[in-house]
């Protein structure tokens, strides 16, 4: 009986010792685990802060560490899009690019730059009235290869600060030997900015552009739109294919993957669009203008579509006058917020020029 009592006492002591030890270890382990979690959270927070150092560009929402890159005028460059002018140089560094109709069922581009300084830009072509309006929206210096007498008069009357191959600042351009005229006029950002400085042009562009998210986000109530095409003509067709890994659209033109022009195959730079806005604008030929100059109703309002992150939604565009910035609104009347990155604006005259491969739609 005494042995049994001793055994029970011994067992009780062992249990007390075990519980007390475990209680002493638990706080230490918990503190250690909490410390690890806190360290991980601090590291993650520091990484997020490092990613957002600097100031976001008003053109793309991309953060720039050197704020001086943004404290200067926006530059808009008029680009050729004839098949003999492809691929173009400078698109990789552009922040916003517009594609519009010109006469003869062809198109041209107007690319806007602020944070980047490409060394080769072109081929550069002549101006059109509705491209001038876009330059006014960004308060930009407008670089182009001449214009008709009518358009030159408009440039002067509107006070557009321009650098032209056949006008002020002609020395900013040169001819490349690997292409034939008129598809071989090129320039550089250094040439444009130094020329603009000599011409005593503005030192900074003052405008209120698009709104941007801090990081890329999916659309609310968006429809799947991983592939779509904008067709102006058989040889003027832009196709966008969603690249999930890059969270953007690979751009194809006339069935060819679009790259920035380089002089080395090792430096190929594919064009990737984060945002695509397809704006429907009525167009007509101006009577008595020879081969026919287009007039486009870019002032007013109308239907548009916004594509990003493999999705799309219908929106409404509005512009009150030539200098007003074109804005896009959702069905609730709220201005849309773009994702940070390169934006393409495809301006078309009819909705049937846009074809969307949408698996969400029933046959």
Query: Which domain does 159 fall in, by range?
Result: 63-198
Whether 167 and 238 map to the same domain: the answer is: no
**What gap in Å lies between CA 177 and CA 188, rounded to an integer?**
16
In a domain, 363, yes or no: no
Phi and psi (nearest 5°) for 66? -90, 100
Beta-carbon count within 10 A of 49 CB:
9
In a domain, 185, yes or no: yes
Arithmetic mean of pLDDT over the chain: 87
**What gap in Å lies between CA 356 and CA 226, rounded to an integer?**
8
**Domain count within the chain:** 2
**Residue at which a domain ends, from 198, 228, 259:** 198
Question: Any idea which of 107-121, 232-246, 250-264, 313-327 has the lowest mean pLDDT?
Answer: 250-264
**Residue at which a domain ends, from 165, 198, 231:** 198
DSSP conformation class of 91: G
Q: How far is CA 130 from the centre of its chain?
A: 20
Whether 71 and 166 map to the same domain: the answer is: yes
Whether 349 and 261 map to the same domain: the answer is: yes
Phi and psi (nearest 5°) for 170? -60, -25
Whether 351 and 226 map to the same domain: the answer is: yes
**What gap in Å lies between CA 307 and CA 158, rounded to an integer?**
33
Residue 299, token pair as written in the block:
């002032």
Closest of 153, 193, 148, 139 to residue 169, by C-alpha:
193
Q: What's the mean pLDDT in 23-31?
A: 48
What's the pLDDT band for 223 if we cut at 50, 70, 90?
very high
pLDDT given at position 307: 98
pLDDT in tens, 33-60: 555 455 555 555 455 545 578 999 999 9
Residues 195, 81 contacting (CB under 8 angstroms): no
Provide the CATH number for the domain around residue 80.
Answer: 3.50.90.10
Q: Is the predicted pLDDT of residue 354 greater than 80, yes or no?
A: yes
pLDDT given at position 30: 47
Q: List all residues 6 or more positions away from 296 whose beta carbon is below 8 Å from its beta carbon.
A: 100, 101, 130, 281, 282, 283, 347, 349
Closest of 250, 115, 266 to residue 193, by C-alpha:
115
Q: What's the mean pLDDT in 265-283?
A: 91
């Amino acid at each position: 009986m005494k042995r049994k009592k001793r055994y029970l006492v011994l067992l009780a002591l062992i249990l007390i010792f075990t519980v007390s030890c475990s209680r002493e270890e638990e706080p230490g382990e918990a503190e250690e685990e909490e410390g690890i979690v806190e360290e991980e959270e601090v590291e993650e927070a520091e990484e997020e802060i490092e990613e957002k150092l600097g100031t976001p560009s008003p053109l793309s929402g991309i953060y720039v560490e050197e704020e001086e890159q943004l404290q200067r005028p926006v530059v808009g460059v008029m680009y050729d899009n004839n098949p003999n002018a492809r691929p173009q140089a400078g698109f990789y560094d552009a922040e916003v690019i517009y594609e519009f109709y010109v006469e003869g069922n062809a198109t041209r581009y107007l690319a806007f730059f602020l944070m980047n300084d490409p060394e080769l830009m072109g081929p550069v072509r002549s101006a059109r009235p509705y491209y001038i309006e876009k330059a006014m929206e960004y308060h930009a210096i407008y670089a182009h290869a001449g214009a008709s007498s009518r358009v030159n008069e408009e440039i002067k009357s509107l006070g557009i600060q321009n650098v032209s191959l056949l006008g002020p600042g002609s020395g900013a351009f040169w001819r490349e030997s690997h292409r034939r005229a008129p598809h071989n006029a090129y320039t550089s950002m250094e040439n444009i900015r130094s020329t603009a400085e000599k011409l005593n042009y503005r030192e900074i562009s003052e405008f209120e552009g698009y709104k941007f998210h801090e990081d890329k986000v999916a659309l609310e109530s968006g429809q799947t739109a991983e592939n779509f095409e904008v067709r102006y003509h058989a040889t003027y067709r832009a196709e966008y294919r969603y690249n999930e890994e890059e969270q953007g659209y690979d751009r194809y033109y006339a069935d060819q993957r679009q790259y920035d022009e380089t002089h080395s195959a090792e430096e190929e730079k594919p064009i990737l669009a984060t945002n695509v806005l397809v704006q429907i604008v009525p167009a007509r030929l101006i009577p008595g203008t020879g081969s026919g100059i287009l007039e486009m109703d870019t002032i007013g309002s109308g239907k548009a579509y916004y594509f990003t992150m493999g999705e799309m939604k219908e929106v409404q565009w509005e512009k009150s006058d030539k200098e007003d910035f074109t804005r896009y609104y959702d069905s609730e009347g709220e201005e849309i917020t773009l994702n940070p990155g390169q934006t393409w604006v495809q301006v078309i005259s009819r909705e049937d020029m846009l074809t969307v491969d949408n698996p969400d739609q029933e046959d």
